A and B are shown apart, each in its own frame.
Chain A
Amino acid sequence: MSWFGFGFNAFGQICVQEKSVQEETSDAVGEVKVSVPVELRSHVDHSCCLKTCQIRASWSRRACLHESRCVWLAGFSASSISNDTRGCRDAIISESHLTLAFPDRIESWDVQRKDKTPLWSMEIIPQSESSGVNLPLVPGGYIASKPPIFRSLAPHLQAKSLALGGDHVILLTAPGAVYSWGLGSHGQLGHGGLVSEEEPRTVEALWGVPMSSVAAGGWHSVCISGGDLYVWGWNESGQLGLPSRGLQKAPQQKKAQPTELSDVSTPEEEPHDGDKHEEVFISIQAFPALLDVNPSSDFQRASCGSRHTAAVTTSGCLFTWGWGEYGQLGHQTFNSLDEPRRVEFFKAKDLHVVDVVCGPWNTFTAAVKKGVLDLKNT
């Protein structure tokens, strides 16, 4: 299984170039924007990355979880972080903290400082190999991206998995219900308004539809049920896969303006008429909407970046949509898209995509050669 990365790379978190003579910066960097998916390599050991079983990404870093139960970091000041991570089962990384789950404890470290001891830790009863901690969920609660690190969760919620968005939280429960709380200013909670919630509140619109996974981005949320994708929140860059006013329809018509500034626009709750084709644009989707994808697909996994979304189908295709300014959509352009599009790179190389993890401005995918997959299945 290989991992690929594309998108924001200003800190070398996807790939680094050989240091050239002119390069004056202390951090080795590659291109700032990677638009063609690149296979991840470790500068320590080439085969190392093939044994990566999970990736986590923050804005400036990437964390790889190895089969060997170690965590390797790449990106901003990665080399200066020297934690003993042997035995680590799971990890999550935010811009300020790295949280590691060991069989007997969970530790949260401040990645900006060189502390000898973790900022926060918690002992846990050693779990069996199969069941593990599902970060950011921990016994009794979850790990937040900013202090206070630990937040408690009521046991009656039966938390199964949790997705941390920019300023909101999406929770999937064992029976398949979805709860949300946090900032609601852009409809990201899915309760139909722009009101923020302090406590977990059921997303009633999804009641009765059992969800299998949830994901949260900067200001949007995604969940999957029976192969279908539900989306809600802010659609300013098309991250919901719904028509977005700010985007040009035909990529070739869009002038090369990579430095286009973003404007702060007032959110509109209702769709309203577009200029040319009487199209309805959606700026904010405050209730979950079922996403229509062409060609019709069965989704098994989704992940959200700050303003983009990526999803993997059961047949091994990767679809991406939303903000694409840094190449994070993988379509080898810097255009944003307001409708899901298959990433042809993987299909062209006969790669079957099995997993996707988004950093805020980049995307990482795990893929296996189609031949290998067939072999495995026989």
Chain B
Amino acid sequence: MESLWSKLSAALPINEEQFPLQFSDKVESSVVEMLTRSRHQLYSTTRSNNQTLYAQVVLDISWERLNTGTWRDVDKDWRRLYSYGCLFKVAALCRESPSEHEILQAVRTCDMGLLMGAAVMDNILQVFVRILQSEIRKTTKEETDYVEAKRMKIVVPRVPPIKEELAVERIKCPSLESFNTKYLVPLKPVILEGIIDHWPALNNRPWSLEYLRSVAGCRTVPVEVGSRYTDEDWSQTLLTINEFIDKYILEKVQDSQSGERAVGYLAQHQLFDQIPELKEDIRIPDYCCLGEGDEDDITVNAWFGPTGTVSPLHQDPQQNFLAQVVGSKYVRLYSPEDTDKLYPHQSQLLHNTSQVEVENPDSERFPKFVRAPYLECVLQPGDVLFIPVKHWHYVRSLDVSFSVSFWWS
């Protein structure tokens, strides 16, 4: 029986000489020296405690560089360096009969590299995490704890009644031409029905909490904590999908004494790049081909959270297909023509976000808001909402919800 380490090392170059460590001049030779020592240990037969230490040094120094300046300006080499650090750390953790805890740590390490680093050696961290996940599935017995589905709080959502004259139009499987002429060109919102019925996520591999746990429960993802991103106490944290479901969807863990439940939202995250198994369950809508860019230019984001997640009224610089897979969401849309009645923030950071709380507007501070015309809808599983570019939108989840958005031009 092949050991975990032999499977992992099979994915690595055969010897030290074949293991690439190429960096620009920006990476100081002392840092490269650390990597060289780590690489040497990887192939050395003598086991050394320093393997973990050297990996930590590489991670710590690249972490510091990643936090220098703005994220956009960070030299790609530092992100690659961080990924190498993750690689060496995984090797150190899994070298000798790792415990389940160590394997989970190794998965988390791969995720940190996938989230913060840049792909190295043909995206080796992706290869590693797949090997590690299959190891976990082997060793842990399937928890038949899915009584949790029954334990979920029955929350009666505040479903706003949709006024017929304000309802977003619905159309079933329009032709490309028809969609283009009636909605894309005139930039008119519409709900497309029946266009994602073929998705495995709605078919043979239906998404549920149990399914997500089984496919990606031990994977670490970024979670937004706080009622809305315009709030002062909004923050981001990293949790495994299991932890996120337990804490924020099922509320198994009571974290605050005051009883105020904090909202956690796995929002605006390119989950499908990180977890390719889930990518297999969705498809890019055909209508995206009406745009100018390539398929590679389409940004696909996951939005997974409990009841009551709120995305404040804001606009995006691209066309958007918002596909509803699990649960339902209330969405309100305002035209860019009415921007003057929506009081966007002045700051550079938030100028695409309105100051108004859509379902509880302050009519003294924002008197024109109540006169702004809008469209509204409740998205159900199987619906795809077309949000034209720059169209203001406000979203509130009505129950446990999983949406997938496609940003295209």
Chain A interface residues toward B at CB < 8 A? 8, 10-11, 22, 24-25, 27, 32-33, 59-61, 76-77, 95-96, 112, 166-167, 183, 185, 218-219, 258-259, 261-266, 268-270, 272-273, 275, 306-307, 325, 360-361
Contact = CB atoms under 8 A, between A and B. Distances in A.
B68 A166 contact: yes
A95 B65 CA distance: 13
A32 B310 CA distance: 48
Nearest to B37: A25
Given A261-B109, A262-B63, A263-B238, A95 B69 contact: no
Query: Among the interface residues A8, A22, A96, A261, which one has the most CB atoms of the partner chain B within 10 A?
Result: A261
Interface in B249-297: 255-256
Interface string B93-129: 1000000000001001100100010000000000000
Interface string B215-233: 0000000000000000011
Interface size class of B (residues with CB under 8 A): 35 or more
Query: Among the interface residues A10, A11, A273, which one has the most CB atoms of the partner chain B within 10 A?
Result: A10
Contacts of B70: 185
Interface string B2-41: 0000000000000000000000000011100110010010
Contact of A22 (B34, B46, B69): B46
Contacts of B54: 10, 32
The secondary-structure label for the interface of chain B is helix
Interface string B31-57: 001100100100010100010111111
A32 B63 contact: no
Nearest to A32: B53
Interface of B: 28-30, 33-34, 37, 40, 44, 46, 50, 52-57, 59-61, 63-64, 66-70, 89, 92-93, 105, 108-109, 112, 116, 232-233, 235-238, 255-256
B33 A76 contact: yes
B263 to A, nearest CB: 15
Nearest to B33: A76
B233 A261 contact: no
Closest 8 CB pairs of A and B: A60-B30, A76-B30, A32-B53, A266-B236, A272-B233, A95-B28, A262-B63, A112-B29
Nearest to A265: B236
Contacts of A76: 29-30, 33
A33 B53 contact: yes
A183 B68 contact: yes
Contact of A32 (B57, B232, B236): B57
18 contacts: A22-B46, A33-B53, A59-B61, A60-B33, A96-B28, A166-B64, A183-B68, A183-B69, A259-B93, A261-B59, A261-B89, A262-B63, A264-B63, A265-B235, A266-B236, A268-B233, A269-B232, A306-B64
Contacts of A270: 232-233
Contacts of A264: 63, 66-67, 116
Given A264-B66, A264-B67, A259 B55 contact: yes
B64 A259 contact: no
Contacts of B46: 22
A32 B112 CA distance: 24
